[in-house]
Chain A
Amino acid sequence: MTSPLACSSWTLSSGLLIFFFFLFSLSLLRAEGVPMSINLSDFPAASVQDVVVPVPSEIFGVLDQLGNPNWRAQLRLRKTQTPDDRAQVALLLGSVIAEGFIAVEAEDAERVKELGRDVLTLADAINVRKSVITRSKSIIDKANHRDWHGVRVEFDGALQDVRAAMDEMNDEDLAQLVSLGGWLRGTDALTAIVDEHYTPSGAELLHQPELVRYFDRCINRMSPRLRKNPLVVRIHSILSQIAPIIDGKKQDIPREQIKKIHSLTDDVVQKINDIS
């Protein structure tokens, strides 16, 4: 005679068996029709769409997980001046927005407010003031309330609004320079932070080969006049030096190479900020 206990344990094990079979079937169903691997060479250039430049908060969110870096030491405290050259203004605007993220990380409300105002001034110099008036005000309001997440959202929004306004004015080249300026300043700070407390996982954040190629393509597509701009020429050269460092098949980027990227980006960010 089967005891009730034995019966329930049989029912339990057969139930579990059915359950696992169901899960297994589900996994097969999910896999059905979805190749586990693809040959990327089956996608010629014409059928590949370009990468979208990540917004700063995509990267700074990850940096939050790197412990507690000394963000205050990364802040550039000099007063922002407005250059005459529109290309430099665009690069500086991107750089200032990235600086805003660093000031948020450093929780420096006064610096955040200054940078919020700088965004407006620089946007004005390239005729996209209207697109960032509300953002600039929100940055200052949220910094007053030490709403750091809110400030990040506004800086991200300012970057995207400025770019959209420039695209509308058919100033796509300048819009790319805004993104490039932000990426350079972000990379400058990121390499300093990673170098300070080097870990392979921190260095891995610089593994952005397609992004570097994308910026390189953008510069190649710019008008001849912009391509000859001394700052753009310098940046183009820097990208060609950074590309092989982060393009390797190995995910780990050694500390010396981090230092090299930092030295290259730090130098060009200083030039972007330099009004002579």
Chain B
Amino acid sequence: MIFLELFSSKKTVFSYHPSSLKQRVALCLVAIAFMSTVHASVDDALAFAYEASLPYAKQYAFRKDAWGGDLGVKEKKAVMAQLFKGNDYWFIMASDVKNAKVSVHLYDALGKLAESEAWQRTHDKKHCASAGSHIIPEKTGTYFAIVEVLKSPEERTPWALVYGYKDFKEKDLKASK
């Protein structure tokens, strides 16, 4: 299982190979299914992040590069991203810890909330939690995705964050408003 070898707990920005998003999700889920003991891990969280991004995959190109790590409850982490005015982005975060709740929100370089919408979901059947944040940047520059574990039964909760982008169209702005 290629992706399992590529991640280590120390490596927080990672990338891996399968080309299409569906392939990536399928590979990750098959790997999880074969794991004899289910330990929460960043690569499982990544599989769920890609799965949670599937509804957007037709319109948005999701990067293979991703961020990940583990956090305690109410602990936050900032993830830097270079975003371009003229693009439209979705950031999707997930964790594979059952009954956890995670969130991701996007702020500009001055620390102002810059997202146009955000959501959080807990999936009881899939034993995972996910969150999303949507932004159509008004300026080109550095943005901060603030990831947080809102609640979790675990002391440390693995998480992964991916993002997808597409060219911004005027009608998208109207729709997002």
Residue positions of A touching B, CB distance < 8 A: 30, 34-40, 43, 47-55, 57-59, 61-62, 64-65, 153, 156-157, 160-161, 163-164, 167-168, 201, 204-211, 251
Question: In the complex, are the beta carbons of A160 and B15 less than 8 A apart?
Answer: yes
| Nearest chain B CB to A245 CB, angstrom units | 14
Residue positions of B touching A, CB distance < 8 A: 6, 12-13, 15-17, 19, 61, 63-65, 67, 69, 76-82, 84-87, 103, 105, 107, 109-113, 117-118, 139-142, 144, 146, 165-168
Asked whether A50 and B80 contact (CB < 8 A) given A34-B105, A36-B113, the answer is yes
Known: A30-B118, A47-B76, A207-B141. 7 other contacts (CB 8 A): A38-B113, A43-B144, A51-B80, A51-B142, A62-B87, A156-B61, A161-B17
- Chain A interface main SS type: helix
- Chain B interface main SS type: strand
Question: In the complex, are the beta carbons of B113 and A204 less than 8 A apart?
Answer: no
Question: In the complex, are the beta carbons of A55 and B107 less than 8 A apart?
Answer: no
Alpha-carbon distance between A163 and B67 when the two chains are bound, in angstroms: 16
Identify 7 residue pairs between A and B in the complex whose beta-carbon atoms are under 8 Å apart, listed by A's number.
Answer: A38-B146, A40-B78, A49-B79, A52-B81, A64-B167, A160-B15, A208-B140
Q: Which 5 A-B pairs have the closest CB atoms?
A: A62-B86, A210-B142, A51-B80, A43-B78, A61-B167
Chain A residue with Cβ nearest B12 = A49
Alpha-carbon distance between A65 and B118 when the two chains are bound, in angstroms: 27
Alpha-carbon distance between A122 and B22 when the two chains are bound, in angstroms: 30
Alpha-carbon distance between A167 and B13 when the two chains are bound, in angstroms: 11
Residues of A within 8 A of B142 (CB): 51, 209-210
